Structure 1
Amino acid sequence: MFEKIFENGLWGSRFIVLLAVIFGLLGAIALFAVASFDIYETVKLVINTYINHLHPEHFHDLVVGGIIGAVDLYLIGIVMLLFSFGLYELFISDIDIAREDDEENKILSIHSLDQLKDKISKVIVMVLVVGFFQKVGLTSYTSPLELLYLALSITAVAVGLYFLSKVGHHH
């Protein structure tokens, strides 16, 4: 009898994961809102620049940096969504409505912590790549050696992404 009560309580304790799910969703919403506001501000800057016939110093850097920064925040928001969906599906229940139209929804197809970790880690790598390109785009290069380093780093990122795309694919 004590074992049955204890096991029921232990099994019910999995609902504590709902805190991570709810706050993960709130974090994703906050990131999407901030990224959207950043893009709005960037578009407003572009419109004002062309209406007033101004061309501020480093204008292109501001525009590209603003948009890439927003993409970075959107990707982190996606990490939070995947985290929330994955935890919910692993510990609470399948999200039935997601499977009504598509029998095998690739995004929500998470059956183990390893699958959740793999999906999140791939998006995190993309966040790092976007951040890398944001930094590269805002850096000035003054010597041929710096350009060589730039070319080598871009090659390394490309090779890394190629191998990342091969992870998890069975032929």
Structure 2
Amino acid sequence: MEQWFENLLWRSRMIVISGVIASMVGAVALFYMASVDAFYMVAHLLHYASPELDMAARAILRGETVTHVVEIVDGYLLATFLLIFGLGLYELFISKIDLAEGSETASQVLLITSLDGLKERLAKVVLMILVVRYFEYALGMGFHTSMELLQFAAGIALLGLALYLSHLGNRSH
């Protein structure tokens, strides 16, 4: 009875496959969305060099393009998050990925050996997403008071501190 129950417990880890599949489908969908957005952004820019476009319209187009680029980067980062999460779940709960372990070209980012390692990699991606989101938000900001400018500067300083502390954490490993 005990052996049967332990066998059942061990095989129940296969439920994680649903999370792996959902993460991979989500990653593919986000890569697709970000790639489509990038294609349309470039197509939208084809008339940028047109002599009919005045400087004000060109400046507006440039600003919109920078915002679109940030959104595209954000989409790719979210897709990367899901990819790392899916691969990490698979490696931790199901099986090691033989192709990744034996390959000289495989990135160490995708080799997950512990739950802490998975959390650490995901935290770095989340931090980058937050940096990109802050940048996206900052592009649309208009400063009306010196306090708003000071708060914006404090936000940048805190992001810099977070990146610095993240870098310190990398060196300790």
TM-score w.r.t. the length of structure 2 is 0.88
Aligned counterpart, 1:25: 24
SS of equivalent residue, structure 2 residue 130: helix
Aligned partners of 2:100 and 2:106 also within 8 Å: no
Moved over 4 A (4+): none
Aligned counterpart, 2:43: 44
SS of equivalent residue, structure 2 residue 158: helix
Aligned counterpart, 1:64: 66
Aligned counterpart, 1:100: 102
Distance 1:25 1:104, change over 3 A: closer
Aligned counterpart, 1:13: 12
Matched, 1:3 2:5: no
Deviation, structure 1 residue 56: 5.9
CA distance in 1, matches of 2:153, 2:69: 23
Aligned partners of 1:99 and 1:105 also within 8 Å: no
Deviation, structure 1 residue 150: 2.5
List runs of 5+ in structure 2 lacking aligned partners: none
CA distance in 2, matches of 1:29, 1:52: 39
CA distance in 1, matches of 2:40, 2:89: 34
SS of equivalent residue, structure 1 residue 167: helix
TM-score w.r.t. the length of structure 1 is 0.89
Letter in structure 2 aligned against 1:29: V
Aligned counterpart, 1:161: 163
Aligned partners of 1:61 and 1:138 also within 8 Å: no
- Between 1:140-149 and 1:81-90, the stretch displaced more is 140-149
Deviation, structure 1 residue 108: 2.4
SS of equivalent residue, structure 1 residue 107: helix
Aligned CA-pair RMSD: 2.1
What fraction of aligned residue pairs are identical, expressed as a percent?
36
